[in-house]
Structure 1
């Protein structure tokens, strides 16, 4: 069964002047227009395509890559407004619709919005800016544990730091003191569970925890040394600001990293910096 609003692997069943007909199972044949073809496709080939609806509400296939799929969050540009809602640029010819009922406040052309893409009751692809309605409360601390790797989407600044969406299902927070690199709204990346609080809120770290954290940063320092010809003018005496500017980490984490490299006899710590052995 095909998944509307996501990538599908579909076999070619017919070649037509206007493109290829793909086997969509119970959905019937789905057209892949000729502008997306290389000319090497044959009947029986399996094509990886994105399935959505065209302006006439017909299922259509494309090899173009949208900025977001159904079930995902993204920060998109508002390109048009109508009396029924607004449209977002998600990288496909037909823009993504956000009904008024799914806007927390009126979205304006030229602005951006963090949205979640979903299928409405008629199996049409739409987007919602009401993020909270798609996120769950954690009522079981066993859902996550300290050190778990997760995927986050940067959502909004708060008084304490940065709110993020964790694995597309829960809210999390990166404290300001742990923001060692800039994250723009909508940025997606790997992160780690720093703590599951007693109230079941998630604290997030951008770096692996514990010894893995030191190993990972130590590797970055080693790579930087090699790239800089074997010497970096930073040491355990350098200012926290100078260290954060180069390695996007705290001074304490940097000291642990170079300590690891020193114990492995990979570097020499000098007064003016560290040198590769």
Structure 2
């Protein structure tokens, strides 16, 4: 989002008021004149032109402008790459010349250069500097009254427990995929399309990888039929194990029963003691 007001940590549209060897100076209102380095020069830039920039602090903690867009804006959570580590903490590439520091106090465990971590970008209240945090849970907020069951969302996986996979929903809400409802491989840092199954009383979201209810049955029924048409039959019945159903169809037993019920009523399949048979129209 681009705003007209000049604030650190945001994108805004500012006017060029001076041109110097070091670059262009922008009118940033209460923040004064802010440098856009000459390394970001393009032919259309000159005095009097408005330019869209992101404002942050340089290595001397002075406000500076860039036309680059951070990989994650302050307040957002994203998968970033650790580039270095020292006595201050770990440093991350977030798309700007000055790297993002994750202090030791904000690390859940020591961070290793070259690896990817789910990090929240934020502004330190005391110093005003941009920092990152790996302590994701403390930064997630309640999703109460935000979603309806069945709503589609984007979920970033950031942890695993005995219950299932922890996820950041739309960059700020707390979500969980229960392990017994996940029938595909999920990995740390992966972003997936998910569906809200339930908003719990504590504001946390129960998530699924497929739509629920009637919305789910139609596309899954089509998937079922396509698989069935390959051989004309499937060695599955109502008593088949979840593992056998997952092997042949890649779906849960609950979904399997819903699909079979729908297709049987539509007279597209026949149910036999040891198999399901496709009825050719």
Q: Where on the TM-score scale, by shorter chain, does this alignment land: which range?
A: 0.7 to 0.9
Contact 1:235 1:273 in 2 (8 A): yes
Rounded Cα–Cα distance in structure 2 between residues aligned with 1:19 and 1:162: 48
Structure 2 segments unaligned to the other structure (5+ residues): 237-244, 271-275
Equivalent of residue 30 in structure 2, options 8, 26, 34 = 26
2:194 matched residue in structure 1:
191
Structure with bigger gyration radius: 2
Contact 1:236 1:251 in 2 (8 A): no
Equivalent of residue 113 in structure 2, options 106, 109, 115 = 109
Equivalent of residue 123 in structure 1, options 128, 141, 144 = 128
Structure 1 segments unaligned to the other structure (5+ residues): 226-230
Rounded Cα–Cα distance in structure 1 between residues aligned with 2:235 and 2:16: 64
| Structure 1 residues 28-64: Cα deviation after superposition (integer angstroms, max 9, x where no partner) | 2222223323312344443332222222222222233
1:163 matched residue in structure 2:
166
User: For residues 187 and 60 of structure 1, do their structure 2 counterparts lie closer, same or farther at Cα, with a shift above 3 Å needed?
Assistant: farther
2:249 matched residue in structure 1:
243
Equivalent of residue 37 in structure 1, options 38, 41, 49 = 41
Contact 1:235 1:274 in 2 (8 A): no
1:74 matched residue in structure 2:
78
2:249 partner SS: helix
2:6 matched residue in structure 1:
2
Task: Compute the displacement of 1:153 (Å).
Answer: 1.8
1:35 partner SS: helix
1:100 matched residue in structure 2:
104
User: For residues 187 and 10 of structure 1, do their structure 2 counterparts lie closer, same or farther at Cα, with a shift above 3 Å needed?
Assistant: farther
2:25 partner SS: strand
Rounded Cα–Cα distance in structure 1 between residues aligned with 2:262 and 2:52: 45
Provide the TM-score with structure 1 as the length reference. Answer: 0.73
Task: Compute the displacement of 1:96 (Å).
Answer: 0.7
User: For residues 240 and 123 of structure 1, do their structure 2 counterparts lie closer, same or farther at Cα, with a shift above 3 Å needed?
Assistant: same
Provide the TM-score with structure 2 as the length reference. Answer: 0.72
| Structure 1 residues 86-143: Cα deviation after superposition (integer angstroms, max 9, x where no partner) | 21222322111112222233334344432211101232101112222212357xx545
| Structure 1 residues 231-258: Cα deviation after superposition (integer angstroms, max 9, x where no partner) | 86797768532432xxxx5476588779
- What is the number of residues matched between the two proteins? 262
Equivalent of residue 140 in structure 2, options 135, 143, 146 = 135
Contact 1:236 1:255 in 2 (8 A): no
